[in-house]
A and B are shown apart, each in its own frame.
Chain A
Amino acid sequence: MNVILSIAKTTIGEAIRRRVLLIILLIGVLFLVIAPGLSVLSARSSYTVLVSFTLGVIQLTSAVIAIVLTVYLLPNEVERRTIYTILSKPVYRWQFLLGKYLGAVGALGLMMALMTGILVLVFKIMQAEAGMDVVMTLARAPMMYFVQMSLLAAVAMFFSTFASPIVNFFLTGGVYLVGTLFSPVFQDIAGNNSVNAMVKTAATVIHTLVPNFAQFNVQNTIINSGSQLRSEQMYYLQMVAYAIAYVAVFLIGGMMIFDRKEV
């Protein structure tokens, strides 16, 4: 355990200093800060627009950070030969992979916490009369995004055990898009008895293999808040359990490949 946490800690320390990631983060933060100014231009109910815009910024920024951060973790270790000194110590490869993954999740958490903090601050300033609890409900969506991005990082980690960073970028990005845009469609087909059996099987397979990223997009329930607060907590818990299960599958798959890999 010690070994895994040590590796995770150094990974965080390194990730939060990576210039590319900081630039992406800075762009995200910039958009959050100027968002109120932009929403004035919109004719519709500016609050709703502002919420969905800023949450969208956080989600997109986090997804890009998650992918860019994770696809380079293993290749960088090999290229700089740091992995050799680590693996010549009493460290199992699965411990190394898990440490790297947890480090990625930790760094992602820090960066997302920063963006969420700025989000809350922006809204607090915008609506000085609103209570803190109202503003804090906004922070729930980024929390679910964090779960979503942790899952995304596991997908990238899995692919990085055999694919080059560039290929991995498109693979993971593709899985994210399919899992976000088409998951509801596949879910529909898989559950529909009137379609062709083969199509149905294919849909079920894709629906099972590709994590359903769409279900983490809870911004709509927050925008139309007040309706189903009761079941919400249950739903969140389910999402977390779903993510953990998928993370475990991707990491174990990655460990099995990485264990035989020539580095």
Chain B
Amino acid sequence: MNLAIETKKLTKTYKTSSGMQSVVKDLDLEVEKGEIFGFLGPNGAGKTTTIKILLGIIDGTSGEANVLGRPAGDIESHKRLSYLPEKPYYYEHMTGLEITQFYASLFGIKDKELCVNLLNRVNLGNDYNRPISQYSKGMQQRVGLAQSLLNDPELLFLDEPTGGLDPIAHIEIRDLILKFRDEGRTVFISSHELSDVERICDRVAIINKGEMVHQGRLDDLLSGGRIEVTADGVPENLADKFKGDDMTLSLRAGRLIADLPDTMSPNEMIDAIRTSGGSVVSVIPRRKRLEDLFLESVSGDNLAKGRVTGKMTDDKKADTKEEEVSS
């Protein structure tokens, strides 16, 4: 398979005052080349830690991590990838252009024009000669994106790229990321901005307390939506005609409320209602939202509580099993 990122049973354990704490646990990630991959999880789930391992900034405790076909942290592969950390910060005395040139020099690139072009591309054309200390959050984030494009990377790691930005900046950055995919790059985004992820990602992984809860195509993960049909003046015998195991029906005093899977067309039912003299009140599709999946994935936990102790991890296992049975 053509994988940009692959981890096998990746685990990171920290020694803390409360004992050993597994921040990433047996993580099996598979990111295909050329896709936008969303890496989701609540605060403290281990997203940033995983990215740091993939970049070789820290080492995993056990398991395997390969990036662009080489072990994580390999300097050769660093020529082909780039990283935008969450809440990036730059040397404040430098201008946007100087900072970009500084990062360029780390690749051995001396091309000033390239830096200017990239800054133009992220809409900093008018501001790149001002010191970073005068930049807004959104402008700093865009400097970050410009520096992340210097080496024409095959793979981009973006940690919370839209965190703390206003809606306009959100859209701008989202569009840039979509363009990255059109240019054939693989984009790995860590985020909890679910609406952004839902719009742009091809595949996602949801982790909670360091453990994988879901991984797959967004379309597959969000399948299983329902359609609710409501009608009045429906004769009693109609209900029997449609009773099936994947459908819930209630019919009382002529009012029918049917809830069917979105894989089934409601046409047949609507036709039957109308020929029997009933009238359709509403047909409401209830598509599964990423938010639902996310909440379901991390349910039963105190979301604000990112800490994982040995005991809680065991509890978590039980949770996941239950979810698998019920879904």
Partners in one complex: yes
Q: Which A residues have a C-beta under 8 Å from some C-beta of B?
A: 2-3, 6-7, 10, 13-14, 17, 80-82, 84-92, 262-263
Number of interface residues, chain B, beta carbon within 8 A: 32
- A selection of 17 A-B contacts at a CB cut-off of 8 Å is A2-B105, A3-B108, A6-B106, A13-B93, A81-B88, A84-B52, A84-B57, A84-B83, A84-B85, A85-B84, A85-B144, A87-B57, A88-B157, A89-B103, A90-B106, A262-B58, A263-B57
Among the 9-residue stretches B74-82, B189-197, B275-283, B311-319, the one with 4 or more Cβ atoms under 8 Å from chain A is: B74-82
Chain B residues near A17: list those with CB within 8 A. Answer: 93
Decide yes or no: A88 and B81 within 8 Å by CB, A3-B105, A262-B58, A263-B57 being known contacts. yes
Please determine whether A91 and B90 come into contact, CB atoms closer than 8 angstroms.
Answer: no
| Inter-chain contact B55/A88, CB cutoff 8 Å | yes
Question: In the assembly, what is the distance between CA of A88 and CA of B91, in Å?
Answer: 17
Interface majority SS (helix, strand, loop, mixed), chain A: helix
Which chain B residue lies CB-closest to A87?
A: B57
Q: Which residues of chain B from 243 to 289 have any CB-CB distance to chain A below 8 Å in the complex?
A: none
Contact B79 A90 (CB under 8 A): yes
In the complex, chain A residues whose CB is within 8 Å of the CB of B83: 84-85, 88
| Interface contact tally, CB-CB below 8 A | 69
Shortest beta-carbon distance, A236 to chain B, in Å? 35
List A contacts of B147 (CB < 8 A): 85
Q: Report yes or no: A85 in contact with B78, Cβ–Cβ below 8 A.
A: no
Contact with A along B93-130 (1 / 0, CB 8 A): 11000000011011110000000000000000000000
The answer to whether B57 touches A10, judged by C-beta atoms less than 8 angstroms apart, is: no
Q: Determine whether the beta carbon of B93 is less than 8 Å from that of A6.
A: no
Chain A residues with CB below 8 A from B52, complex form: 84
Closest A residue to B77 by CB, please name it.
A90
Of listed B59, B75, B76, B94, residue having the most chain A CB within 10 A:
B75
Whether A14 and B91, one on each chain, are in contact in the complex, defined by CB atoms closer than 8 angstroms, is yes
Q: Which of A82, A87, A88, A262 contacts B90 (CB 8 A)?
A: A82
